[in-house]
A and B are shown apart, each in its own frame.
Chain A
Amino acid sequence: MNKAIGKTLVAGAGLSGIRSALDLAETGYKVLLIDKSDHIGGLLCQLDNQFPTSKCGYCRMLPMFDRDKSSQHCLRKGLFHENIEILLSTQLISVEGEPGDLTITLKQNPSLIDSSLCTGCGECERVCPVLVNDSFNEGLTKRKAIYLPSPQSFSNAYTIDYTACTRCGECEKICPTGAIKFTEQDREKFKILVVDDEKIVRDSMKEWLKEEGFSVTTADSGQKALELMDDRSFNMMLTDIKMPGMDGVELLAKAKEKNEDLCVIMMTAYAAVDSAVDAMKQGALDYLTKPFDPDVLIAMTKKVYHEFEIAEGRVEQVDALILAGGTQFFKPELGKNPYGYGVLPGVVTGMEFERLISGTGPGKGKLIHPKTSRPVRKIAWFQCVGSRDVQTGAGFCSNVCCMISIKEAILAKEKFGPDIEATIFYMDMRTIGKSFDEYKLNAQNENQVRFVRARIHSLDENVAKGDGSLVARYVDMGGNIHKDDFDLVVLATGQRPAELMTEAALKNSIETNQWGFIETGSFSMVKTSRPGILSGGSLSGLKDISESVTCASAAALEACKIMHEAGKQIIGAADAGAIDADDMEDLAVMARENPRILTVLCSCSSDFSQRLDLESLKSHLDRIPENESVEIMDKLCTDEGWQTLIDMIQKTNPNRLVLGACLPCIHKHRIKELGKAAGFHPSLVETLDIISILNQYPDLEISKMTQRINRELKILISKARFKNPVPNERLESNQNALVIGGGIAGITAALSIADCGYHVDLVEKNDTIGGNLVWMDKTVDGLDIQEYLDEKVRQLESHSQVTIHKKTSIESAASHPGEIATLLKKEGETNDLGETILHGVTILATGGSQAPLEPDVDDSLKILTQKEFEIVVQDRKIEPEKLNTVVMIQCSGTRDEKHNYCSRVCCIRALKNALFLKEKNPDVQVYILYRDMMSYGFFEEYYTEAKQAGVIFFQYDSANKPVTEMHEDKVLVKTFDLLLDMPVEIEADCVIHATGILPDLPETLADQYGAALDTFHFFKEADSKFRPVDSMNYRVFSCGLSLKPCTIEEAVATAEAAAIRAIRILSHERLVSGKTVADTRTAICSLCELCVDTCPYGARSVDRLEEKIVIDPAACQGCGVCAAVCPSGSAVLEGLDMRLMLDSIDMVLS
């Protein structure tokens, strides 16, 4: 391969960073994934349960095909993928260059712990004398300065909190594997110059700093100091300000002339702080006031030293950069703090509540009051803390808090019983997704969560009761004041831009909006103002999991386009490291050989021998005939130990290996290394993580523990004995795409795939493309929709890789492994047989439309839907200038029994139309009748703007809907003002109904491609949170309105996400299956097809010509459901056959 492989840097390894990285890595590009923290996973590591399942589901983002390239365990534990390099504790400093050629400077914190050696035994933590607040539990618990970054971490590697660590060295002494190495000797390289005219000050400072291991030189005057600086260089200078002769400030200026990088700290008497501050303006780093505490001096010196340590930047050459720095939460203790956070007992943030109820939190799964340890019964959630509140600088809605609070309320009830009383105080319940409204109703009706529409002014302690309970005063809709007692108050804190990321953005001249979130371009949720730099996830503001994932994928698509345009290559399947065809013969030979098993036990520098009788274990295992030899080795995790193992393999020439060691040795990539070094096939290695078992049963006596380990090893030996080395299958895969639907989602998906070099067929049933955008004029932001659409259509029509089929529908479709055949039918064509298209992936972008008005009253332009209104205004059939009164009725036919979901866009559309009318005719009176104003995210601004423009909003409740009557040439709208408690009648010239969105995805069509519909007749996602555009069938995706109600911008993002998900598959000529896949013994199969219907992944189909069941090995996830359902035993799972199972059982029982 003579061309370079494409590489993208993803900054931020949280949810969205991982999504972007995996999408690109699966496509075949190289990814460098960095994160400023010491673990991957981001915010989600702290959140155990997600709405709507009350479970996690992070792992669903892992690759579905070619699974052996990556880790297949919980993403909160960590991630491994062959194409992804992960750098933790690393920050982005600067970006130079153009797309396709970016030079990026990174800054990485040094690690004092070698994670490949750390076994996670926890000895270091035990001896560490430093106790600090545990940030993982939001400060609700304490931890040591050496700690596990998250309780789920897989490699269990410890990490050091540099700011808290005193470098006492206790951990270094006790570490059994020598994984901790303090670079004390490096401190000697850090040269400090102390300048003071008082000898006693000079000497004591020298002594203190020397004790810490730094090199110290002293000088008694400025002149002397400068002379010393001529001879040698210093890293840091501590100087007194008031000295005879040259004073400290003068010395600072002269010293800086000699050495610009010198860190200078001024020392001054308390009275002269002003001059120290002046000195800081001239380049001093900080100052110390005399007399000072040695601890303060040392802490400050360490800080400077730490910066010095990490100053060395790493420079990377990449094609594109994806910023995925995530979000931060509003800190309620800042500002006016009306709810007494940090002051009153029992006031916590949402994140703290999540930790409180977590099994890994302070209560270990029990809900206890964080301050008083009393049981908690009454819990209140306060919405909009730091959102929709100009007093906290947030004129926006944070989008996700409503759903988070409902989830937390349900969790509290589910986990701690129905006695928990949960109340949510809110302003508008923003259930802005297709299943959100249903979820809220469930919470209300099934889980008895109380919803109160009120904003709490402030919170007080119930002094009369004196038990630490809190009292909240609020007013109900009728104006009555209530006072309620609560044990715990949860503040639904809003979002804020991620600090470090914003800093990096500003430094690299990436535009941000007025609140500091990254600004994305028009009609795009991922393109920043700088070409080549993309924003994934919630960095550009306020997204839930599914939106973050969608945006992350969209960003990956843009990066993919950049790399393709720059002519960069992908790593072909040949380089993939899966078992090659050549190997297959060797493997077949090996499978027929008698097993010669080598069993190796690590003594872990005699740690294991203290808990285990290794010798008796060895003699037990030696009795198994297939066990060629059993060896005890030491410190396999070290390079030296590993080499002994390789030598042993070469010497004894076994054909199977069983390894009993600790985690670092049994990492998948380590085993693969073994394959390379000793010519031993990784699929013939069985591993046992002994240390985890030892840690799990800390009190088990030696004999019992030996028995236990013996049993576990015997199972593995049995497995090794019957192991049938199966090669990873290669599946020829079609590299063309079919996009159904020519709306904006379909156009974007088709263009995106075509831009990356793959052929696309686009099928549209009408004779024009553009879908709903055809009748739209402008967005609420004032962007010209027609101009945008025209440009897209022009690009599409002139693209060499796109074939457009207009006036065409899908006649039928059939899936085969690696390929889908679709029969098209052109409208009006009499020929029975239409064109057949062969393709590898299908994107369903069939769109949706505005629901009709029921009953459709008349055509006199008095009662209209939003769409009808926009069209008649464009046609000048209604002239805004001539209108006096317009009434808009929201949720007309949606969010009711029939269409039980929020259509998301209608409130924004109403605001847009209201502002349009007010602009054209300031005298027109506009009334908006609504249930909850869904002006989510930054759209909140338009709500405020509409109010400012004089639009009057009436809230109504679902039980008492507004009614309209024709009254001569006017429409009489009757509603009820809930606040004034009186009926209202409005005589309107025109009434505009927001009827919501209906999806247009026929069930038969989805079914033909193996996709399914949800209860609302939208496309059913494989997982609504973590795989938001995928179906369970790995070759079928959806985007736009057929997926969910969405704005144009959001539709484009889903289309881009669907495109990259498709490109992941299209980029491979041959797809590699996982190691464990199902097979069918055709000879005994009766073709009952039970397995075909049962397979959740659509991996099984019937080949009608050959009359047999065929399996798509790339689709099969090895779940084994087919084997369970098969009545004849013909469906089997390779590598997990009956013989092996029975033998394992025999082994354990023997």
Chain B
Amino acid sequence: MGQVSNERLLEQTETVKEMIQTCIQCGTCTASCPNNEFMDITPRHMWRLLLTDHADAVFSSKSFIMCSSCYYCTLRCPRGLELTHAMSLLKQAASKLKLKQFQRSSLFYEAFLDSVKKHGRVREMEFMTNYFISMKNPVIPFAYASLGLKLMAKGKVRPEFPFGGKGKLTALFKKVAELEG
């Protein structure tokens, strides 16, 4: 892990490690995961890495980012571990540490939430534009062009930029930030 040391990562994943301490590596989570084939290491492998203090290896993979929070693993874990929650804690840690390899996902989430914060809902055009700007890479938008056009043709994405409709969610977001410290 180039930018952040394993020790620092371990500090950040302490809570997750405690959460999954009673894992017996049965593999139920992995066999159940619908996104497993998109993951470079399996969930079970990832829990094992965390338990054996290889946090750097966890963060050099992108498995936890692929979690779509379907809660399938949590539902069936024989040890009753809250695995989906553990996944989201890892995502939060990655965002907090501003790890480069997760920048794309973190910025994507941020841009999404910015739009929600402002308007109380997602404004696709503004959201994607902000995301592209934050990525500071002029090539990225082209990769999304064909998908964008398809969505637009089906009316799934509204082309216009939003006006007004100032969101009233600021208080809510503030409270959440407060709670999360």
* Cβ-defined contact, A980 with B78, below 8 A: no
What residues of A have a CB within 8 angstroms of the CB of B54 in the complex?
980
CB of B24, distance to nearest CB on chain A (Å):
7
Contact string against B for A residues 472-508, beta-carbon threshold 8 Å, 1 for contact and 0 otherwise: 0111000101000000000000000000000000000
CB contacts (< 8 Å) of B31 on chain A: these are: 454-457, 473-475, 481
Chain B residues within 8 Å of A, Cβ to Cβ: 21-32, 36-37, 41-42, 44-45, 48-49, 51-52, 54, 72, 75-80
Bound Cα distance A390, B75 (Å): 11
Chain A minimum-CB-distance residue to B32? A457
Tell me, in angstroms, the Cα distance from A947 to B80 when the chains sit together: 14
Contacts of B28 in A (CB 8 A): 455-457
- From 367 to 386 in chain A, residues with beta carbon under 8 angstroms from any chain B beta carbon are 384
Q: In this complex, what residue of A is CB-closest to B23?
A: A947
Please tell me if the beta carbons of B21 and A980 are within 8 angstroms of each other in the complex.
Answer: no
Of the residues A384, A390, A475, A952, contact of B51 by C-beta under 8 Å = A952
- Please measure, in the bound complex, the distance between the C-alpha atom of A944 and the C-alpha atom of B22, giving whole angstroms: 6
C-alpha spacing A952/B20, complex, angstroms: 12
A950 at the interface (CB under 8 A from B): yes
Are A336 and B30 interface neighbours, CB within 8 A? no
Asked whether any CB of chain B lies closer than 8 Å to the CB of A979, the reply is yes
Chain B CB count within 10 A is highest, among A474, A950, A977, A979, for A979
Q: A336-B76, A391-B77, A457-B32 given as contacts; is B42 within 8 A of A475 (CB)?
A: yes
- Are the CB atoms of B79 and A979 closer together than 8 Å? no
Cα distance A943–B24 in the bound complex, in angstroms: 10
Least CB distance, B111 to chain A, in whole angstroms: 33
Smallest distance from the beta carbon of B8 to chain A beta carbons, Å? 20
Which residue of chain A has the shortest Cβ distance to B37 in the bound complex?
A481
- Give the residue name and chain of the B residue nearest to A473 (CB): B31
Contact, CB under 8 Å: B26 / A454: yes
Contact B76 A475 (CB under 8 A): no
Q: Which of A384, A455, A479, A944 has the most CB of B within 10 A?
A: A455
A-B contact pairs, 9 of them (CB 8 A): A391-B77, A454-B26, A456-B31, A473-B31, A475-B31, A933-B24, A950-B21, A952-B52, A979-B25
Nearest-neighbor residue (CB-CB) of A944 within chain B? B22
Identify the closest chain B residue to A394 (Cβ).
B78
A804 at interface, CB cutoff 8 A: no
**A479-B30 contact, Cβ under 8 Å, with A388-B78, A455-B78:** yes
Say whether A338 faces chain B, with CB atoms less than 8 Å apart: yes
- Which 9 A/B pairs are nearest by Cβ-Cβ distance? A457-B32, A455-B26, A390-B80, A389-B78, A475-B30, A475-B27, A479-B42, A947-B22, A457-B31
Q: Quick check: A979 and B78 within 8 Å, CB to CB?
A: no
Question: Are A980 and B48 in touch, CB under 8 angstroms?
Answer: yes
Cross-chain contact of A458 among B36, B37, B76, B79 (Cβ < 8 A): B76
Cα A481 to Cα B49 with chains together (Å)? 19
Tell whether, in the assembled complex, residue B27 and residue A454 are in contact, meaning their CB atoms are under 8 Å apart: yes
Instruction: Please name all residues of chain A whose beta carbon is closer than 8 Å to the beta carbon of B23 when the two chains form the complex.
Output: 947
Q: Which residue of A lies closest to B29 (CB)?
A: A457
Q: Which of B26, B52, B77, B80 has the most C-beta atoms of chain A within 10 angstroms of its own C-beta?
A: B26
Given A979-B44, A979-B45, A980-B48, A948 and B21 touching (CB < 8 A)?
Answer: yes
Bound form: Cα–Cα A636–B78 in Å: 62
A986 CA to B29 CA, complexed, in Å: 28
Distance in angstroms from A385 CB to nearest chain B CB is 10
Given contacts A454-B31, A475-B31, 12 further A-B contacts (CB under 8 A): A338-B76, A390-B78, A391-B80, A454-B27, A457-B28, A474-B27, A474-B31, A479-B45, A943-B24, A947-B22, A948-B21, A980-B45
Instruction: List B contacts of A955 (CB < 8 A).
Output: 25
Q: Is the C-beta of A427 less than 8 angstroms from some C-beta in chain B?
A: yes
Q: How far is the CB of B57 from chain A (nearest CB, A)?
A: 8
Q: In the docked arrangement, what's the CA distance between A979 and B25, Å?
A: 8
- Smallest Cβ-Cβ distance to B42: which chain A residue: A479
Residue on A with the closest CB to B39?
Answer: A479
* Complex partner residue of B48 from A390, A933, A948, A979, CB under 8 angstroms: A979
Tell me the chain A residues, 387-444 only, with Cβ under 8 Å from chain B.
388-391, 427
Q: Which of B21, B52, B75, B78 contacts A947 (CB 8 A)?
A: B21
A427: B residues at CB distance < 8 A: 24, 26, 78
Query: Chain A nearest CB: distance from B159 CB in Å?
Result: 41
Complex Cα–Cα for A391 and B73 (A): 12
Q: How far is the CA of A481 from the CA of B42 in the complex (A)?
A: 10
Q: Decide yes or no: A977 and B52 within 8 Å by CB, A457-B28, A474-B31 being known contacts.
A: yes
CB closest residue in chain A, given B72: A457
Separation of A955 and B52 alpha carbons in the complex (Å):
13
How far apart sit A384 and B80, CA to CA, in the bound complex (Å)?
Answer: 14
